A and B are shown apart, each in its own frame.
Chain A
Amino acid sequence: MKRLIDTLIEQLIKMSGAVTEITVLLIIVFLFKEGAGLFNASEVEKGYTVLVHSENTVERLSPKELKEVFDGNIENWEKLGGKDEAIRIFRFDEIFSIYTEDELGKDYVLLPEKLEEVISADPTIIAYIPQKYLPTNLQGIKELAKMNISLTDFYIGKEWIPTATPAPLFGILPLLLGTLLVSFIAILIAIPLGVGVAIYLAEIANERVRKLLKPAIELLAGIPSVVYGFFGLVVIAPIIQKIGGLDLGETAFAGSLVLAIMALPTIISIAEDAMRTIPKAMRDASLALGATKWQTIYKVIIPFASSGIAAAVVLGIGRAIGETMAVLMVTGNAAVIPNSIFESVRTIPATIAAELGEAPGGGAHYQALFMLGCVLFIITLIISIVAEVISSRKIIKE
Chain B
Amino acid sequence: MKKIILTTLTCALFGTSIYAQKIKGSDTVLPLTQKALETYKKENKSVAISVTGGGSGVGISSLLSGSTDIAQSSRKIKFDEKQKFAEAGKQVKEVIIAYDALSVVVHPANKVTKLTREQLEGIFTGKIKNWKEVGGEDLKIIPYSRETSSGTYEFFKESVLKNKNYMNGILSMPATGGIIQSVSQTKGAIGYVGFAYLNDNVKALHISYDKGKTFIAPTIENAKNKSYPIVRPLYYYYTIINATCKAFIDFVLTPKGQKVVSDAGYISVE
Q: Which residues of B contact A6 (CB under 8 A)?
A: none
- The A30-83 residues at the B interface (CB cut-off 8 A) are 47, 67, 70-72
Whether A336 and B174, one on each chain, are in contact in the complex, defined by CB atoms closer than 8 angstroms, is: no
Q: Which residues of A contact B91 (CB under 8 A)?
A: none
Given A72-B164, A358-B55, A336–B169 Cβ distance below 8 Å?
yes
Binds B, one of A210-218, A242-250, A303-311, A383-391: A242-250
Given A248-B182, A354-B148, A361-B61, A335–B168 Cβ distance below 8 Å?
yes
- Does chain B have a CB within 8 A of A132? yes
- Does chain A have a CB within 8 A of B43? no
Whether A241 and B186, one on each chain, are in contact in the complex, defined by CB atoms closer than 8 angstroms, is: yes
Q: How far is the CB of A115 from chain B (nearest CB, A)?
A: 13
Residues 33-70 of chain B, each 1 if its beta carbon lies under 8 Å from chain A, else 0: 00000000000000000000011111001000000000
Taking each of B142, B150, B165, which has the highest tally of chain A beta carbons within 10 Å of its own beta carbon?
A: B165
- Does chain A have a CB within 8 A of B189? yes
Residue of B nearest to A325 (CB): B174
- Does chain A have a CB within 8 A of B86? yes
- Picked from B79, B125, B153, B170, the residue with its CB within 8 Å of the CB of A92 is B79
- Does chain B have a CB within 8 A of A17? no
**How many chain A residues touch B (Cβ–Cβ < 8 Å)?**
45
How many A-B pairs with Cβ below 8 Å? 103
Whether B165 and A174, one on each chain, are in contact in the complex, defined by CB atoms closer than 8 angstroms, is: no
- Picked from B125, B164, B181, B187, the residue with its CB within 8 Å of the CB of A233 is B181
Give Cα A130 to B148, complex, Å.
22
- Picked from B56, B86, B165, B186, the residue with its CB within 8 Å of the CB of A249 is B186
- Does chain B have a CB within 8 A of A185? no
- Does chain A have a CB within 8 A of B255? no
Whether B57 and A360, one on each chain, are in contact in the complex, defined by CB atoms closer than 8 angstroms, is: yes
Query: Could you give 30 example pairs across A and B, Cβ below 8 Å?
Result: A67-B165, A71-B125, A107-B86, A130-B79, A132-B83, A163-B153, A164-B165, A165-B163, A233-B178, A233-B181, A233-B182, A247-B140, A247-B142, A247-B186, A247-B187, A248-B182, A248-B188, A249-B185, A328-B174, A332-B171, A332-B172, A333-B174, A346-B172, A354-B147, A354-B148, A354-B172, A354-B174, A357-B58, A360-B57, A361-B61
The 3 A-B pairs of least Cβ separation, nearest first, read A336-B169, A358-B149, A354-B147
